[in-house]
Amino acid sequence: MEKPSEIQSELDNFREQWRAEVSARSKNAPPQQEQEQQHQARAGPSKAPISLIAPPRKTDHTHKRVPSKDTTHHDHEEDYVQTHNFDVDPHRGKTIQSRDDTVEHDKEPETALEYYEKAVDNETSGKLGDSLSLYRKAYRMDSRVDQDYRDKHFPGVWKKKTADAQPAQPNPSNAAVTVPNTAHHSQESAPVLSIPDLIASFAGLGVQAAPPVIEGMPQPPCPISELPEEILVHILRDVAVIDVGDFMRLSRVCKRFAYLIATQSQIWRRICLGAEFGFGGMVYHWQRGHSWEELDPNHELDDDTVTMGELFQRRAEESEATTNALYGSVYPSWQRMFQQRPRIRFNGCYISTVNYIRTGHASGNHITWNSPVHIVTYYRYLRFFRDGTVISLLTTTEPTDVVHHLTKPLLQQHAKGGAPHLPSAIVSRALKGRWRLSSSIHNPDVAPNEAEGELVVETDGVDPKYMYRMEFSMKSAGKARNNKLNWKSFWSYNKLTDDWGEFGLKNDKAFYFSRVKSYGFSGER
């Protein structure tokens, strides 16, 4: 048996040898690394590692995203409503700018924010499967990409409370300032005007001409500044009748236009009572049958001395009288009535995007986390017309290939037989129907403002013996008004057996309005 002193000496020798080997390796390592770096430099950038040419990404993957208190109220559906943009006329050729935009849109994303933006676009258009894969790529590159997206697209809302919690200090105590900051004191003393007071302050202002391009040159002419106010109001009223959106955008031209648009109640009265965009074009009684046929006088007329034309004229007068009665009692101004009173919009289409998941294969067992699934996407379309008719369509085709073909001439042309090409393949499955809004006539025991806001749509069925009835409540989403239709019920009526059957609304989503330029400003195309 060896003595303890000998064992201890052997351990000391082993430690010394191990230290010597480690020190020798550390001395020889730098020359080897320098040779590897020189070899990579000679090889050129084409042989660089993949990590060097990949998009930048953050290395901190352990950070967990915790919802901030500043954005909890922005997670609702209405705050992120993005309607489709169909302001491009499909019958016109693409300009140079549109081709450049297409190339830029088809460019492959490189950063996490670009992947996230493309995922949001796909989710908005209903491509839920593509958006999920893009979201995964974005979060793998940057776990906080959603905050970068909010900072870019919603900077005012995202940082509002942060700015309020940390007010800027124009004159900090540790700053070497010898002259007082008078601008800060002037900002504190300036009164903050309300919007009505601000508009009233524009009353005495006129239309100012543009300054000369070169200093010292004569001022360019401004003929509209010399027009009397009566003629200027008449011009603004004509613009409002053609397009209310352009009429509102004129308020950005100058303060004089902003004052006239906000205070001229006669223009807003003309908009509300007119049939172009106002309530003169709303339908509160059935005007047509399900298949757009004329109504049967025997069912509509209670008195033989009244004709159908006189009946429609009487209903139009009742609708105008109701509109005049609501002014002052329910809505304080004509402008407020146009913005808040429920109405159908005709210069676009209401679209419902539905996504649901179903199993990928038939199995008697329960679905597990690794079971294949399919994400199914389909769309519902509703286009309304002023004569009380509507076009309804259920299809898997995306909106860009559908909305421009939802017209009465195409529906009449392709209704009997469908060809395997556009637009016949889509329009042949569209259904004719009719619509009407609720009013105090249908609910006499309810207040006038509460009786309105419900929409009833009746369409033909897929089989001639059926008729579909859809009921909605009109709501507003985001900053726009009257752009959302919430489902209330969906029924099927059997004409042969006189039975009603209710459809479930498990997967169906609300309709959102999207303006379509090819329909025209008034929506009659």
* Residue 39 pLDDT: 44
| pLDDT score of 302 more than 60 | yes
* Residue 71 pLDDT: 37
Q: Residue 452 half-sphere exposure, CB side, CA atoms within 13 Å?
A: 18
The pair of three-digit structure tokens given for residue 466, joined into one six-digit string: 């059926």
Residue 492 β-bridge partners: 468, 501
Helix residue ranges, H only, 330-418: 334-340, 408-414
Q: How confident is the model over 104-144, as pLDDT tens digits?
A: 445 788 899 999 999 998 887 777 778 888 998 999 999 89
Listed residue (522, 488, 484) closest to 78, CA to CA:
484
Contact status, residue 262 vs residue 251, Cβ threshold 8 Å? yes
Listed residue (338, 208, 212) closest to 273, CA to CA:
338
CA distance 301 to 158: 59
Q: Are strands 454-460 and 466-475 parallel, antiparallel or unpaired?
A: antiparallel
Contact status, residue 378 vs residue 394, Cβ threshold 8 Å? yes
Listed residue (75, 248, 85, 84) closest to 157, CA to CA:
75
The pair of three-digit structure tokens given for residue 8, joined into one six-digit string: 């201890």
CA distance 109 to 516: 28
* Residue 65 pLDDT: 35
More confident position, 264 or 60: 264
Q: What is the dihedral of CA 114, 116, 119, 120, to 10 degrees?
A: -110
Q: What is the dihedral of CA 51, 57, 62, 64, to 10 degrees?
A: -160
Over residues 390-410, mean pLDDT: 92
Note the Cα 35 to chain centre separation in Å.
58
CA distance 149 to 135: 12
Contact status, residue 342 vs residue 437, Cβ threshold 8 Å? yes
Provide φ and ψ at 307, rounded to 5°: -95, 170
Tokens 């429920």 belong to 342
Q: Are strands 484-494 and 511-515 parallel, antiparallel or unpaired?
A: antiparallel
More confident position, 221 or 39: 221
The pLDDT confidence band at residue 153, using thresholds 50, 70 and 90, is: confident
| pLDDT score of 91 more than 70 | no
For residue 464, what is the DSSP state? T
| pLDDT score of 452 more than 50 | yes
At residue 124, the 3 state secondary structure works out as helix
The pLDDT confidence band at residue 79, using thresholds 50, 70 and 90, is: very low
Q: Indicate the length of the chain as a whole number.
A: 525
Segment holding 430, helix H or strand E: none
The pLDDT confidence band at residue 478, using thresholds 50, 70 and 90, is: confident
Residue 253 β-bridge partners: none
145-153 vs 128-141: helix crossing angle, rounded to 10:
110
Q: How confident is the model over 498-521, as pLDDT tens digits?
A: 999 999 988 899 999 999 988 887
* Residue 59 pLDDT: 39
CA distance 453 to 460: 24
| pLDDT score of 56 more than 60 | no
The pair of three-digit structure tokens given for residue 394, joined into one six-digit string: 């259920």
Listed residue (226, 270, 280, 224) closest to 244, CA to CA:
270
The torsion region of residue 453 among left (phi > 0), alpha (psi -120 to 50) and beta comes to left
Q: How confident is the model over 307-337, as pLDDT tens digits?
A: 888 888 998 999 999 999 999 989 999 999 9
More confident position, 264 or 14: 264
Amino acid letter at 147?
Q
Q: How many CB atoms lie within 10 A of CB 316?
A: 14
More confident position, 361 or 338: 338
| pLDDT score of 42 more than 50 | no
Listed residue (102, 116, 39, 135) closest to 400, CA to CA:
102
The pLDDT confidence band at residue 525, using thresholds 50, 70 and 90, is: low
Contact status, residue 371 vs residue 363, Cβ threshold 8 Å? yes
* Residue 179 pLDDT: 46
Angstrom distances, CA of residue 285 to CA of 388, 435, 439, 441: 8, 8, 9, 9
Task: Give DSSP secondary structure letters for 182-247.
Answer: HHHHHHHHS----HHHHHHTTTT--PPPPPPSSTTSPPPP-GGGGS-HHHHHHHHHHHHHH-HHHH
- Helix, strand, coil fractions of the chain, as percent rounded to 5: 45, 15, 40
Cα-trace Rg, the chain: 34
Considering Cα of 364, then 366, then 372, then 375, what sign does the dihedral take? Answer: positive
Segment holding 273, helix H or strand E: helix 265-273
Contact status, residue 436 vs residue 456, Cβ threshold 8 Å? yes
Tokens 């989710």 belong to 123
Segment holding 77, helix H or strand E: none
CB within 8 Å of 71: residues ≥ 6 apart: 150, 157, 158
